């Protein structure tokens, strides 16, 4: 069994559990190699990746994976190269056929879908944005964006009008007539994004879309995704091997290693309560004060502290709380819906930064 931690509900993260998940994955395996379907459920399934390869010639790219993607969340799949991210996300629309397990979209069994239904799923419900944008070189920006609509059979005038809307949405106004070769990498990725958005899919799947971009443009594109997400609340599954990208974008992060899940949690849970040494190592250099919040740092308020001092929401980062406490010179209250949940002072903020908050703080 893989150790998985499911995120608890918090006021700042999308609610879980009260709606049908967009994707629901259970016990999924994808094994490449000879007689791959014999591996799941057999004693070989317990072997390490290297031993499995040596004994059977098979690679378990996805290993007994179970998780839900909730409506409206940005769900980040993170892991080192070869950990199984791309294979897993391609399995979600059966671009790669899972070897075993169950898979549902909005409660509907994806494994039972016939070819026509699957085509419909990929065209209308789950659009993919790739690292290599796959743009058509001889078509204009506008026609590239309209391409998915053309495949859907939409008439020319209608699809161009829709594409023009998307041009504006992703900040490409003025570039509609250009060919992809006349655009920068970041602009080309915006075209890829606009093309995926144009079909108005329920969920966007991003496969390392920004890894070829230089850092400043990458940052721009991340902000674009965050802005779009805030505007539309569209569900997004985002693959990256970059931890800072995962922390910036993810409502929840699923960390993979050797095809399995090591931990699923909010950025705060991953950084603040790593599931094991592997995760701890992964997050070692993360500036904790920028990810952890006062929810984790606070202590109970004494009776004379409940009314005075600055008020912070529970989602305030420790970095912002340090500034508030330094300015006021005294403790700050953590207030939610008019109720004082606790206070943060110099000592508790410092212990979070120093990584001394540990289990007692989480329990409190
Ligand atoms: N068609 C295939 N046949 C055999 N093995 C494969 C195939 N595709 C992927 N693999 C193996 O499955 C494992 C997971 O690969 P995958 O591409 O999903 O990882 P990834 O985490 O997306 O890596 P990267 O970040 O480098 O893209 C790797 O060991 C890879 O070599």
Q: 58-109 pLDDT, tens per residue?
A: 999 999 999 999 999 999 999 999 999 999 999 999 999 999 999 999 999 9
Tokens of 240: 């990256």
Q: Per the domain annotation, does 17 fall within a domain?
A: no
Atom of ligand 1 nearest to the CA of 32: 4
CA-to-CA separations, 231 to 72, 121, 169, in angstroms, rounded: 11, 24, 10
- Domain check: are 91 and 175 in the same one? yes
Average pLDDT over all residues of the chain: 88
- Contact 79 CB / ligand 1 (< 6 Å): yes
Please tell me the distance from the alpha carbon of residue 250 to that of residue 226, in angstroms, as a whole number.
9
Q: Pick from 287, 311, 346: which residue ends a domain?
A: 287
Question: Closest ligand 1 atom to the C-alpha of 88?
Answer: 18
**10 in a domain, yes or no?**
no
| CA neighbours closer than 13 Å in the CB half-sphere of residue 103 | 23
- Answer whether 87 contacts ligand 1 (Cβ < 6 A): yes
Q: Is residue 165 part of a domain?
A: yes
Structural domain contains residue 6:
no
50 burial via Cβ count (<10 Å: 0-12, 13-18, 19+): exposed
The CATH number assigned to the domain holding 333 equals 3.90.1280.20
Distance of alpha carbon 216 from alpha carbon 183, whole angstroms: 16
Cα 242 to middle of ligand 1, angstroms: 17
**Structural domain that includes position 316:** 289-363
CB of residue 257 inside a 6 A radius of ligand 1: no
The domain that contains 96 carries what CATH number? Answer: 3.40.50.300
CA of 84 to the centre of ligand 1 (A): 6
Position 1 scores a pLDDT of: 37
- Predicted-complex ipTM score: 0.97
16 assigned to some structural domain: no
Q: Give domain status of residue 306, yes or no.
A: yes
Provide the domain count of the chain: 2
Higher pLDDT pick, 12 / 193: 193
Q: Given CA atoms 163, 168, 169, 170 in this order, what sign does their dihedral have? A: positive
Ligand 1 atom closest to 84 (CA)? 18
Regarding the beta carbon of 272 and ligand 1, being less than 6 Å apart is answered no
- At residue 15 the predicted structure's pLDDT band, cuts being 50, 70 and 90, is very low
Give CA separation, 230 vs 127, 166, 202, 253, 320, in Å: 18, 16, 15, 18, 21
Based on the domain organization, do 72 and 208 belong to the same domain?
Answer: yes
């Amino acid at each position: 069994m893989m150790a998985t931690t499911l995120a608890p509900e918090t006021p700042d993260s999308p609610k879980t559990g009260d709606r049908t998940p967009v994707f629901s994955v259970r016990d999924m395996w994808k094994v490449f190699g000879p007689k791959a379907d014999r591996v799941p459920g057999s004693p070989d399934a317990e072997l390490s990746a290297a031993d499995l390869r040596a004994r059977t010639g098979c690679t378990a790219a996805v290993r007994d994976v179970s998780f839900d993607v909730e409506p409206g969340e940005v769900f980040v799949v993170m892991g080192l190269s070869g950990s199984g991210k791309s294979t897993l996300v391609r399995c979600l629309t059966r671009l790669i056929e899972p070897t075993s397990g169950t898979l549902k979209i909005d409660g509907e069994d994806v494994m039972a879908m016939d070819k026509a239904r699957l085509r419909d799923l990929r065209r209308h419900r789950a659009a993919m944005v790739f690292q290599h944008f796959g743009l058509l070189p001889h078509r204009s920006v506008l026609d590239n964006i309209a391409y998915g609509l053309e495949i859907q059979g939409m008439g020319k005038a209608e699809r161009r009008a829709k594409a023009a809307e998307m041009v504006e949405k992703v900040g490409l106004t003025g570039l509609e007539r250009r060919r992809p070769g006349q655009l920068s990498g970041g602009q080309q990725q915006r075209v890829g994004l606009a093309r995926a958005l144009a079909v108005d899919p329920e969920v966007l799947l991003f496969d390392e879309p920004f890894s070829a971009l230089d850092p400043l443009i990458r940052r721009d594109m991340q902000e674009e995704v965050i802005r779009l997400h805030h505007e539309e609340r569209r569900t997004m599954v985002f693959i990256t091997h970059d931890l800072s990208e995962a922390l910036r974008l993810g409502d929840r992060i699923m960390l993979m290693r050797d095809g399995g899940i090591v931990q699923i949690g909010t950025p705060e849970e991953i950084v603040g309560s790593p599931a094991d040494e592997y995760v701890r190592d992964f997050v070692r250099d993360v500036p904790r004060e920028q990810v952890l919040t006062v929810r984790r740092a606070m202590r109970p308020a004494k009776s004379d502290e409940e009314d005075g001092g600055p008020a912070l929401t529970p989602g305030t980062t420790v970095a912002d709380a340090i500034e508030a406490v330094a300015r006021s010179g005294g403790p700050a209250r953590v207030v939610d819906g008019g109720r004082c949940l606790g206070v943060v002072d110099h000592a508790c903020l410092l212990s979070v930064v120093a990584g001394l908050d540990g289990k007692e703080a989480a329990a409190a």
